[in-house]
Amino acid sequence: MTAIADIMNTAPVIPVIVVDEVEHAVPLASALVAGGLRVLEVTLRTPAALDAIRSMKGVDGAIVGAGTVTNQRELADAIDAGSEFIVSPGLTEPLGKAAIRENIPFLPGIANAGDIMRGLDLGLTHFKFFPAVAAGGLPALKALAAPFDQCRFCPTGGVSLDNAREWLAFDPVLCVGGSWVAPRGPVDEAEVERVAREAAALTS
């Protein structure tokens, strides 16, 4: 099984995807992968999400996971749809234990030291810092990361092309999550691929 660290190191940006119409799923995934963004987080925010995950799994090279997973039922549904990793906006002990029991790569959200300590108690060391900008931005993450040097992060929430490079320059940040690379609605494949290529080229 692929570890969450390997998934986070695949590309500098993980697209945070909201799919309203299932027919948008494959064109969007294909364009993102063609642009170099292979890790796709499909948020469970719409009725189409689970079917979108199933559809995207057929795109060659795509690593498809579920985001906005908040409880064990959603976890089970996401795994049943074929999700290869799970992202949550927060961390509860029941969800964390369930993800570990299912042996699926899991990236829970943290916003403070208590969240990180709860994760460490479960044996987790890789976290989504969310909501990144609203929770204090890069200065907050630097302060949080200092006492937890074994931890690695994926900031999400307010991250854009304009500030992504600054986040990625901080060593404990392996990647960032962003919705700017995957706009909602009908897919302009050429434009999505162009934006994805730009994001995939981001480095520190």
The yes-or-no answer on residue 102 being catalytic is no
| 41 belongs to the catalytic site | yes
On the question of a cis peptide bond just before residue 131, with omega within 30 degrees of 0, the verdict is: yes
Q: Which of 57, 84, 128, 193 is catalytic?
A: 128
- Catalytic-labelled residue, pool 41, 74, 84, 193: 41
Whole-angstrom Cα distance, residue 83 to residue 53?
A: 7
CA distance 1 to 85: 10
Q: At what angle do helices 72-80 and 93-101 cross, to 10 degrees?
A: 30
Categorise residue 136: left if φ over 0, alpha if ψ from -120 to 50, beta otherwise.
left
Residues acting as catalytic residues: 41, 128
